[in-house]
Amino acid sequence: MLLAHLTLFLSAFLAATLLPLSSELVLLGLLAAGYPALSLWLAATAGNVLGSLVNWLLGRYLLHFQGHRWFPVSAAALERGARHFQRYGRWSLLFAWLPVVGDPLTLIAGVLRTPLLPFLLLVTLGKGGRYAVLIVLGGGDGG
């Protein structure tokens, strides 16, 4: 059981970084295999939020490396994220779970110096809510 939850945590963590991965299938597969919905929700949410925190830290501290080839976000993606973030403000972090825009959005939050506590609260609400919806749709009983 621990290995399954660790796998989900790592899947969710990596999916929340700038790597093009997804954790939803892992979550739904474990749910279908009979693992408890609540513990799956906790593992997925914790991993996904921690991955977003890595993006925030990258934005906050590593932006001066932006011109290097290995930098994980294109200038265009940064610009799109900054425009979106500046237009909608911190509340846009509720949508950090969205594909394509969510990961750069969390990086932009770091670049724009969003305080850590509001960042974590909004990202956790959005990502936790998304996993809760997936669990309900996947037939999880909440136990």
pLDDT tens for each residue of 12-30: 999 998 777 889 999 999 9
Q: What is the pTM of this model?
A: 0.86
Residues 13, 47 contacting (CB under 8 angstroms): yes
pLDDT tens for 34-57 read: 999 999 999 999 999 999 999 999
Q: CA 108 to CA 127: how far, in whole Å?
A: 17
The structure tokens listed for 43 are 């593992």
Residues 31, 135 contacting (CB under 8 angstroms): yes
Instruction: Determine the pLDDT at residue 65.
Output: 77
